[in-house]
Each structure stands twice: as structure tokens, then as C-alpha cells.
Amino acid sequence: MKQRFISSAQIILQFALTTVGLTGQSYPGKPQIIRCRSLEKETFSCWWKPGSDGGHPNNYTLFYSKDSEEKIYECPDYLTSGPNSCYFDKNHTNPWTTYIITVMATNEIGSNSSDPQHVDVTSIVQPDAPVNLSLETNTSANMSYLWAKWSPPLLADASSNSHEYHYELRLKPEEKEEWETVSVGVQTHYEVSSLQAGVKYIVQVRCMLDLGEWSEWSSEKSIQIPKERLPPEKPTIIKCRSPEKETFTCWWKPASDGGLSTNHTLLYSKEGEEKVYECPDYKTAGPNSCYFDKKHTSFWTIYNITVRATNEMGSNVSDPHYVDVTYIVQPDPPVNITLELKKSIKRKPYLVLTWSPPPLADVRSGWLTLEYELRLKPEEGEEWETIFVGQQTQCKMFSLNPGKRYIVQIHCKPDHHGLWSEWSPEMYIEIPTDFKVKDMVVWIIVGVLSSLICLIMSWIMILKGYRMMAFILPPVPGPKIKGIDTHLLETGKSEELLSALGCHGFPPTSDCEELLIEYLEVEDSEDQQLMPNHDTPSKNTKIVLKETDSDSGRGSCDSPSLLPVKCREPRGLPSALQTQDVRAKEKKGEKGSWEAQCMASEQKTLPCNNESTKSCTWLAAQLPSTQPAMFAYHSTVEAFKMTLNTTNVNTSPVLVGNEENHQSLYPIAETVYDDVEKVGENSKTDQTTVQVRQNQHNDKSPFLNPKLMDYVEVHKVRQDEEPTLLLKHKENNGKTKKCTVSGTNKEYTKVSTVVDHHILVLLPDQRTQNTPVSQEPVAETSQNPQQSQAEKNTSYSMTTPSDSRRDTSGSDYMDPSSFMPSFK
């Protein structure tokens, strides 16, 4: 009831105060109860935080009521727990009661109350930290223990000390962060084992009443855990060294000292003596070492050295170390190293190294003999070059790279035994760049300049190269004699030359045969078939010859199909050959016309056969056998003879036929073949005659060639321009007219020209048949350039035995014949 009243009164007051506050002063701010805490569940205290004082001194009053009663009480004790607190002593504390507590601040203007706080004493128990923590260490059986003791927290009421606290202890090594917490229980002491020896530990304790909170940690206490108390472990003798072969020092490494201060004693006995001595000098060489001065150093004596480590708990002795000082000499590095550059007579710089033995080493007496080794490398180099120099104290280094900086080091070692000293400190020397480098520069400049000049020259040459060339090397005028093959001139074969010039010394007859053959091939197979014939490495020597011929004549022959034509060239009819080539091309391009011509030739052939049996028979004779080629040749020869001497109508057409060509040739061959079959007997008779004539022909052949050439030229003209041909025809005799009548008019025209030169009279009988005959000699002539006539003969003989068509010339002829029917 009262509480409610108060609260309602407060509200009223607050309103009043707020109105006042607006005018300047105000009632106090609302205080706040911070916490209530019971140390031991029998008493408790509450603390509050004042609000704003409102500009006036405040009075604070704590009221409380119990949940079991309606009555409101004021704080029994404002002093015990300090300012702004209220202490409830035993009498005012009932653990079974919930207290409702408010604090009211009052000043002149008004008052303000805190929010009420409900307090259950049992739930706010938090004791103070334990006190009087003390630590002890105890060591037994190599184990260290830590004893911690403390007292329960002090209470304001000294009479109530019967509470039972639970304790917790935590500890850690001083340098660590993590605590190790141990639940102790209700005891006020604890023993910690498994501690690290020699570590300082920090310990704290806290306590708790059964349901409350843990107290704060007590103040820290620390204690040093003593090191283990053990006998030391075995020390190790590291090494013994004599720097100058007069004294020596031994070093050892102590092992663990067992946590106690340990003394090390070096004991030694010398060979031949029973007595054990102690190290004469522990200090000179630093800690953990023993220095044996000259008096205590003997050579050629084995020292048995041991080190004993001793502490309270006992001692331990190292393994014995046997030392003969003779073998443990390791001098100091050499000193006074000087590097000097000198120049030899050739001005080549070389390096002179000098040094002195280490000052301690008495080299002069001969007691110690040192040997030296030096090493050097360019500064940026990786690998050292090591040079053993023996007992010298100087060294000359040649062949150092000029312009490089070298690092040099030296070390030394007694002769026979001992160890190499440390390397001396690095010494640097820069080898000056040689004057040679200047020379190099000069050479480089010269090289660059010369190459520049070359460049300019070549540039000029390119720009005006042709003029220059023409100026320096005027073109050699080509031979202007008709029929002279420049190629022949180049090859320089006198025979051919002569023949070309008109000398009949060489036998073109055989060539003519070949020519025939070629023609035949060409026509039979046309372009395609010609190729294989030529390409196939036929066993026939003739073919081989052709091939070679073709090679020689390639300069003028454009297409392989014209090989037979080429063959003619070497004979001294270059111009004619060329023209023929042209023709061939034309033919290729225009098959129709070609075929037409062929037809014409065929037509002609028929009459030819009828009229001039001789020529036909010749061809026929040639076809069946290899010899026939010869016959053909001969026949041509005959024809030539005829033209030359008697101006025989039959022969003249033959000549024309030669120039005329392949087109006509093919049909001709056919006709011939037919003729042969038909008039085989006649041909035989002709052959005989031919043979006879061959001989003659050989003699006369030279004459024939020039004639042929002439004809060829004419052909060109003809082919190119018919009108010219026509003109020639006009010039020709009436016989030539006949030629024009025949399909192969052009050929006849050629013949007519021949007639002009040699006064030959062309017969109207001239027909395709004749033309092939004429071709034969040309072919033969083509063979000549490459092979001597003798060879040809042999080749012929060789060919005859072979059965295959290709092998024999006859076979070649045969092929065309076989094709014939298709054409027909």
C-alpha cells in the first residue's frame, strides 16, 4: 500500500519538478542501483549510482520491502560498504526472502526514485578473492613440485568464517599467455607437478560459494622452479688445432649441465707417461678451451685428452681424444698479400702476387714448412681457378683477361700434414685494358667502312647494273651464219661445227633415221604419248641418244614433246628447229587443224605410195626392223643426192617432208606401214639400193645438211605467213605447184626454196611420205652431236637384237602404225 502510495506521490512530484525544471533548477536525476552482492550469503550490500543532482546537494535514501511483508524499511547501514551503498547485516538478511529495493534521491526541489530492484540473496553471492597465497617448490627424485597455499577471503563480519568455498587455481610459465586452470576443491592448498625445470611460474586462486559466482582471481604470485639437479652429461671435444706447430688448443662442447653450475676439467696424459695432467690454461683461448703453451706441447707424442664435467650431482667424462700435434697444424692465412701489375717485354701485363707466411708461423727456422695455394676468379665469375704454388711466396699470373677485375685469395698448409688455413681476405685487382683493344677498334672501324663502301658499290651496280655490264662486258655478237648453232660453238665440237657450216664430213645419215623415229613417235601418241616414249628410260640406245640430244637442245626446245625437233637443232639447223617447235606448239593448241593436216597427209600418202614407191618403201623397210631406220636415213640421203645431183622429184619432196613435220609424219608413217605390208618385196629391193647409197650419202651428207637448213628456214616463213609461201610457190617450178595442190602444201613450198638454192626441181609428187623420210636425216644429225657415228652404229647393232618394240627403232615405228587405225 505504502509502496503504491509512494510511487503515486513520486509521479505527482515528478510533474511538479518538471515544471520547476523548466524554470532553471530541477529535482535530482534518477539514481541507479548498480549491483547487490552477498559475500557469504549471510549479509549483502547494494551499491547505486547517483543521477544528476539537479543543482543541489542530494540526499539518498534506500528503501526496501520484503516480498513477504508490506512494510517498507530504510537501509540499516549506509556506511559499512562505503559511499552510495547499503549494507545489510546478518540480522537484516534473510536468504529465503526476496528484497525489493529502491533508492530515492532528494533535494530542495524534489526527489527521484530509482527503478525497484528485486534481490534474492542466494543468487547474488560472490565472495572476495582468496588471500594470502603462498608458493613453494619442492624437488624430490628429479621431479619438481609446486606447493600453493592460500586463505579464504576475509569477511567484514569476522565471526562468520565457517563458509565452505570451492577454489580454483591457475598457473602459467611467466613468458606464456595461456593459463592452465586447475579445480582444487575445498582445500586451501594444492600441489602442482610436471613442471618445467628452470621456469618461473605465475599462480592465481579464486573461490566460490556453492551457488554463487566465482570471485575475482587473487593477486598473482610467482615462483621460480629450480633447474634439475643432475650430473652433467658427457662433454665433447670438438677439435684441437695448432696454429704454428708450437702450441695448440683444444675446444670442447659442454653438454647439459643438469641445472647446476658445472665445472669442466681437461685432463691429458702424454704418450710414455703414466701421469695425468690438467689443462695448463683454460683462459687464453676463451671459454671451453684449453691452451697448451710451448712448454706443454710436444711433438711426435700422442696426447690422450679427456674433458670432465662436474657438478654437485656428479661428473661425466668425455670420450678420449688422441692427438699428435704434428698432424693438427692449421696455420693462419697468409698476410701481406700484394698484387702488382707488371708489363712484359711484349707489353702484355701480368700479375705478380707476393705474400708473407702468417706471423705466428716460424718458417725461417725450418721447423714449419708451409705450402701455398692461391685461387682467383673474375669478379663476376662463378668458379675459382686454384693454383698450387708450393713453398714459394710469390707467383706470377699470365694470361689474365684485360679489363676484368679479379679476386685473389691465398691460403697455406704445412707440408705433409695438417689442414689448409682459412682463405685470406679477398684481394681485388683490375687488369687494365690492353692497347690491343685500340687496335681492335681501328680494325672494327676499317671493317665497317669497307663494308659500307661495298654496300654503296653494290647499290650502284643494281641501279645501273645493266649499263655497267654493257660497258664493261659488251655483248658478244651471236653467229650470224645461218645454221650455225651457238650451242655447238660453245661445246666446241669441231665435227659438228663443220657440219653446221656445211662441211659434209660427218655422217648425218644415221641421225636422219632417228629423226624419223621421233617423228613417228610424236604423231602416234600425240603429245601425251610422246612424253612417255621419251621419258621411259628405254633400252634402246637411240632413245637414249635422243634424250641426250634433247638435253643439249633444251635451250631452244620449249616442250618435251618437241624432243625430236630438238634433235635436229644440234645438227646445225637451229632456226629451223625453232620454227618447228613453234609449229608443234601451234599444233598442240589446235588439234583440229593438226588432225586436218593429218588427214591431208593421209590423203597424200596414198598418192605418194602410188606415185613414189621408193620413198614409201623406204619408210616401210624402216618400220619392221631396226635397220629400217638406217634405210630410211639412207633413203633420205638418196633423196638428198637426188635433189643435189639430179634434182629428182622424189627426193625433193622428202626434204620438204623433213621440215614439214610430225603432223604429216604420223599419217605418213601409217601410209608407209601400209605400204610396207603391201609392197614388202619392193621395199626390200629398195633397201639394198639404199644401203649402197648410204655410203655415198655419208660422203655427201654434209651437202645435204646445209640444204636442209635452208629448207627449214623456208618452212618458218611458210608457216608463219602463207602469202610468203605462196610467193615461193610462184618462184618454184611447176612441180611446186603440185605440192601446193597436196594437203601438205607448205612442205612443198619449202622444197621450192631448196630448189632455188640448189637448182633443184621439185616434183608435184611431193607428199607427206617424202616428208618423213626427210625428217629421218635430221634426227640422225641430231644424234651426231652427242655420239660419234661409230657409236651410233654400235647402238644400232645393239638395238636390233632386242625384241621389244621400244628398244628397236622399228618398234618405235610400229607404235605409230598401231595407232594408225584409230586415226583412220
The residues that touch another protein, with contacts defined as CB under 8 A, are: 245-246, 271-272, 294, 297-302, 304, 320, 322, 324, 326, 362-367, 369, 415-417
3-state secondary structure of 618: helix
Q: What order do you get walking across the sheet with 221-224 strand by strand?
A: 180-185, 166-173, 200-208, 221-224
Rounded least distance, CB 371 to another protein, Å: 11
Which regions of 107-242 does DSSP assign to beta strands (E)? Answer: 111-113, 117-120, 131-140, 143-151, 166-173, 180-185, 189-192, 200-208, 221-224, 236-241
Rounded least distance, CB 424 to another protein, Å: 21
Q: Are 639 and 769 in contact, with CB atoms under 8 Å apart?
A: no
Q: Which is nearer to another protein, 321 or 583 (CB)?
A: 321
Q: Which is nearer to another protein, 368 or 679 (CB)?
A: 368
Q: Give the bridge partners for 168, in sequence order.
A: 183, 206
Rounded least distance, CB 271 to another protein, Å: 4
Q: Which is nearer to another protein, 99 or 248 (CB)?
A: 248
DSSP of 87-118: EE-GGG--TT-EEEEEEEEE-SS-EEEPPPEE
Q: Are 550 and 569 in contact, with CB atoms under 8 Å apart?
A: no
Q: Which is nearer to another protein, 247 or 540 (CB)?
A: 247
**183-205 b/e (C-beta count within 10 Å ≥ 16 → b):** ebeeebebebeebebebebbbbb
Rounded least distance, CB 416 to another protein, Å: 6
DSSP of 275-320: --EE-S-SSTT-TTEEEE-GGG--SS-EEEEEEEEEETTEEEEPPP
Rg (CA), the chain: 69
Q: Which is nearer to another protein, 185 or 390 (CB)?
A: 390
C-alpha–C-alpha distance, residues 129 and 214, integer Å: 9
3-state secondary structure of 364: coil
Please name which of 637, 610, 419 lies closest in space to residue 512, comparing C-alpha atoms: 637
Pseudo-torsion of CA 106, 108, 109, 112, nearest 10°?
A: 0
Q: What is the DSSP letter of 152?
A: P
3-state per-residue secondary structure call for 678-736: HCHHHHHHHHHHHHHHHHHHHHHHHHHHHHHHHHHHHHHHHHHCHHHHHHHHHHCCHHH
Rounded least distance, CB 232 to another protein, Å: 24
Q: Which is nearer to another protein, 245 or 542 (CB)?
A: 245
Q: Which is nearer to another protein, 300 or 398 (CB)?
A: 300
Q: Are 280 and 291 in contact, with CB atoms under 8 Å apart?
A: yes
Rounded least distance, CB 297 to another protein, Å: 6
Rounded least distance, CB 248 to another protein, Å: 11
Query: What distance, in Å, lies between the first and last C-alpha atoms of the chain?
Result: 152
Q: Which is nearer to another protein, 365 or 822 (CB)?
A: 365
Q: Which is nearer to another protein, 168 or 246 (CB)?
A: 246
C-alpha–C-alpha distance, residues 692 and 687, integer Å: 9
- Backbone CA torsion sign across 646, 650, 653, 658: negative
Q: Which is nearer to another protein, 88 or 248 (CB)?
A: 248
Q: Which is nearer to another protein, 272 or 477 (CB)?
A: 272
C-alpha–C-alpha distance, residues 139 and 519, integer Å: 130
Please name which of 47, 55, 2 lies closest in space to residue 25, comparing C-alpha atoms: 55
3-state per-residue secondary structure call for 621-673: HHCCCHHHHHHHHHHHHHHHHHHHHHCCCCHHHHHHHHHHCHHHHHHHHHHHH
DSSP of 454-468: HHHHHHHHHHHHHHH
Q: Which is nearer to another protein, 100 or 317 (CB)?
A: 317
Q: Are 783 and 514 in contact, with CB atoms under 8 Å apart?
A: yes
C-alpha–C-alpha distance, residues 153 and 581, integer Å: 136
Rounded least distance, CB 289 to another protein, Å: 20
Q: Which is nearer to another protein, 367 or 466 (CB)?
A: 367
Q: Which is nearer to another protein, 254 or 320 (CB)?
A: 320
Q: Which is nearer to another protein, 418 or 657 (CB)?
A: 418
3-state secondary structure of 353: strand
C-alpha–C-alpha distance, residues 387 and 396, integer Å: 11
Q: Which is nearer to another protein, 25 or 298 (CB)?
A: 298
3-state secondary structure of 485: coil
- Label the pairing between strands 189-192 and 32-37: unpaired
Interaxial angle between packed helices 509-535 and 541-553, expressed in degrees from 0 to 180 and rounded to the nearest 10: 90
